[in-house]
Amino acid sequence: MTMVVNPIHVIELPNRAELPLAAPCLPQSAEDDPRTPYVAAGPGPTRESEQLALSMWINTHQALFLTVGAASAALRAALDLVRAEDYAAAAHWLGVARDLRLSSAAYTALPAMTREVYESFIRPSMLEVRPGFSGVSSRESIVFAALVVEWSEPSLLERAAAQPGRSGVQTALDELHGADETWWRGHAGAMRTLVNVPVSLAMAEYKRRVDEQHTRMKYGDFLKTNLQCPDALVDYDRYFGVERRELSPARYLETFERALDLSGPYVSSDEATLRYRELATRHVRAMCAGAAA
């Protein structure tokens, strides 16, 4: 059975790289959305297999960004609530973040993506845009990771150790960490499936610079100055057809639901994936409805 090649559009994502729970009133109608066709940032596809692979790659990443952005908003809400000592509500929002993070793992494995077309077309197209092209340049991933680090602050839960409901927050936090580990295991598995030599473009570029420049630069410094510098973030957005602006919750939801539709044919149809994508949709709808109220 031939898989349908879905269209690719440029999408708008929030400047803060998370679902705008506290957005100002920004009236936006369907007429505001021209659905600009995506133009490949690197070499464009020349074969049907490459067009399919590009559609898979861009549409699933766009859905990933929106899902992680919603998870970040849930994590930020949970942080605010635990600091306000509302532990039951904080545990609820941690559970929302957990579900969304598990849903984002759907985009780490694409059953129809072959190693041949990934190695011959997708990987070179990323390399053409930026040496060391890497997912660590994703603004949504950067925000999510920073919020997870905030939850590791030793005093955050220790202050509340004797308060009712604290254990529920700790359990929910452990489950969130488990969901994050699930995502990273999926990412590692995808690399083993798609890449002949499982060395990331980022690590390859780091080693090249160290060897050529005879430097002892630490990888952490390379990360800051090459992978998460402003130019790297711009290049990453450009490759995946992302434009940044202030968004209303309604526009975020509209973009999220469209991204799920376009990415749906490319992800696994196993029960867990379908369940968490359904949960993600339910959570984002509720979050956007609450933000708009």
State the DSSP code for 3.
P
- CA terminus-to-terminus distance, the chain: 45
**Looking at beta carbons, which pairs linking 173-181 to residues 24 or more positions away fall under 8 Å?**
173/94, 175/94, 175/95, 175/98, 176/75, 176/94, 176/97, 176/98, 176/101, 176/148, 176/151, 177/148, 178/98, 179/97, 179/98, 179/99, 179/101, 179/102, 179/105, 180/101, 180/148
Helix (H) or strand (E) holding 245: strand 242-245
The closest of 293, 275, 249 to 23, measured between CA atoms, is 249
pLDDT the model gives residue 199: 80
Please write the tens of the pLDDT for every residue from 197-234.
878 888 888 888 888 877 788 888 888 989 999 999 99
Cβ-contact 97, 144 below 8 angstroms: no
Please write the tens of the pLDDT for every residue from 145-188.
999 999 888 777 776 555 666 778 889 999 999 999 999 999 99
How many Cα atoms within 13 Å fall on the side-chain side of residue 196?
6
Cβ-contact 163, 81 below 8 angstroms: no
Work out the angle at residue 15's Cα, subtended by the Cα atoms of residues 43 and 219, and round it to the nearest 5 degrees. Answer: 65
Helices 48-83, 139-150: axis angle to 10 degrees equals 30
Please write the tens of the pLDDT for every residue from 39-97.
998 889 999 999 999 999 999 999 999 999 999 999 999 999 998 988 889 999 999 99
Placement of tokens 């509209």 in the chain: 254
CA-to-CA distance for 160 and 173, rounded, in angstroms? 14
Q: What is the mean pLDDT of residues 7-12?
A: 96
Placement of tokens 């029960």 in the chain: 271
Position with higher pLDDT, 289 vs 198: 289
SS (H, E, C) 58-102: HHHHHHHHHHHHHHHHHHHHHHHHHHCCCHHHHHHHHHHHHHHHH
pLDDT the model gives residue 205: 86
The closest of 257, 232, 12, 274 to 138, measured between CA atoms, is 232
CA-to-CA distance for 283 and 73, rounded, in angstroms? 11
Contacts of 27 (CB under 8 A, 6+ apart): 248
Q: What is the mean pLDDT of residues 279-292?
A: 91
Beta-bridge partner residues of 245: 14
pLDDT the model gives residue 292: 61
Work out the angle at residue 30's Cα, subtended by the Cα atoms of residues 52 and 54, and round it to the nearest 5 degrees. Answer: 10
**Torsion sign, CA atoms 77, 141, 210, 213:** negative
CA-to-CA distance for 293 and 291, rounded, in angstroms? 6
Query: What whole-number percentage of the chain has pLDDT above 70?
Result: 92
